[in-house]
Chains A and B, each alone.
Chain A
């Protein structure tokens, strides 16, 4: 059976470890990497090493950063009374792009998922609770995904946060902008009806 030369085989095997990359994609990427100049390859390798060396999780919010605490946690123009809890570091970027949220963030780095072996301990719930206890938050927004795991996580956190004198809110769910009512399933329509808002002048 034909096998690629050892260094190429090794490269393909390493690339296959990337999420969503199968054997064919890994092979295509490996051949692309062979085709680029040595200078470009060095730049890519340096970028990977630099990111690995300099980027870590913020000790306050668990977001990815190169300084600790991260700029979002130390920014004096952001409100200390609002806290938005998200699943993953890239969710912070999605909310920041809207430009309407000016509070602090907390990244859970996952959701409660019994099938993946992730429970409250793995999510670092204690760290979150101690942050809320020490902080001056007046509202906590649970911005986990509207999936079964995200919902379970949000409701679990809400039950733990009841003891604090804070307002607990959840991101609205319902019809996505630009979609058609006919194609929405009953759960989505029900959520949209439950979360309907009054139209004011």
Chain B
């Protein structure tokens, strides 16, 4: 039963038994890990605030073969984002990010880029970034890292260069030009392509190329892709809509 450690961000934690907590971590080098923190609900426990959602921690744990949960022996807080969550609306956004990561990625799959994305987005939010814009940024990058972001350069059907006016393919896995779009519904907002291209080259700390209003308008479109690929609506999304 060797001791292992990793840098991780706590996605969620919930009570287990009388005094324990089950904690879901998203680690830099081992992906999603679920662990049991014994005595974490006891008053004056050694974990303190390190097991609160979105805490950036260094976690030490033991692992037994054929067991789903690792046993967390120590958790050092590297950076806390607890203050962000005093605002209910922001905590809804953070829950949504955590839910997306848990839904999109199976356990124990290393996703360092996604880990860096989550940490950057959290830091950008802490520095006062707009939560709608940063969430759009997070969603676009999550789709990109999962290989699900449609190509913004060429029409999926005829492979011609796309202009600013594009339509979404029926399977929501690519963009179509005016000629190939058979349904002729409303084209997607031109800001969407501009924004997707911008996210590829910029960090979430940069000044947003969109106004908060446009950012809010783009959200349902990006979320519809995520829902399409997940085949269900994330539970926390209903709180972002209200």
Query: Which residue of A19, A112, A178, A188 is within 8 Å of B48 (Cβ)?
Result: A188
Whether A117 pairs with B235 at a CB distance below 8 angstroms is yes
Q: Specify the chain A residue showing the minimal Cβ separation from B12.
A: A115
Asked if A101 is at the interface of the complex by the 8 Å CB criterion, the answer is no
Question: Provided the pairs A115-B12, A147-B52, A148-B82 are in contact, do residues A183 and B18 lie with their beta carbons within 8 angstroms?
Answer: no
User: Smallest distance from the beta carbon of A108 to chain B beta carbons, Å?
Assistant: 13
Cα of A77 to Cα of B227 in the assembled complex, Å: 55
**Which A residues touch B86, using CB under 8 A?**
151-152, 154-155
Whether A114 pairs with B92 at a CB distance below 8 angstroms is yes
Query: Which residue of A112, A152, A179, A185 is within 8 Å of B49 (Cβ)?
Result: A185
Whether A119 pairs with B242 at a CB distance below 8 angstroms is yes
**Which B residues touch A99, using CB under 8 A?**
none
Asked if B134 is at the interface of the complex by the 8 Å CB criterion, the answer is no
Enumerate A158-186 residues with CB–CB distance to B below 8 Å. 176-179, 183-186
Cα of A149 to Cα of B235 in the assembled complex, Å: 16
Cα of A151 to Cα of B83 in the assembled complex, Å: 9
Question: Provided the pairs A147-B52, A187-B82 are in contact, do residues A155 and B88 lie with their beta carbons within 8 angstroms?
Answer: yes
Number of interface residues of A (CB under 8 A): 28
Whether A178 pairs with B44 at a CB distance below 8 angstroms is yes
Whether A185 pairs with B239 at a CB distance below 8 angstroms is no
User: Smallest distance from the beta carbon of A201 to chain B beta carbons, Å?
Assistant: 29
Q: Flag A132-158 by CB within 8 Å of B: 1 or 0 each.
A: 000000000000000111011111100
Cα of A155 to Cα of B92 in the assembled complex, Å: 14
Whether B239 pairs with A188 at a CB distance below 8 angstroms is no
Asked if B143 is at the interface of the complex by the 8 Å CB criterion, the answer is no
B binding-site residues for A, Cβ under 8 Å: 12, 15-18, 43-44, 46, 48-50, 52-54, 76-77, 80, 82, 85-88, 91-92, 95-96, 98-99, 235-236, 238-239, 242
> 22 A-B pairs, CB-CB below 8 angstroms?
A112-B88, A112-B91, A114-B91, A114-B95, A115-B12, A117-B235, A148-B53, A149-B91, A151-B82, A152-B88, A155-B86, A156-B88, A176-B43, A176-B44, A178-B44, A179-B44, A183-B48, A185-B50, A187-B77, A187-B80, A187-B82, A188-B48
Q: A155-B87, A177-B44, A178-B44 are in contact. List 12 more A-B contacts (CB 8 A).
A: A20-B15, A115-B12, A115-B95, A115-B99, A116-B235, A119-B239, A148-B52, A148-B54, A151-B82, A152-B86, A152-B87, A154-B86
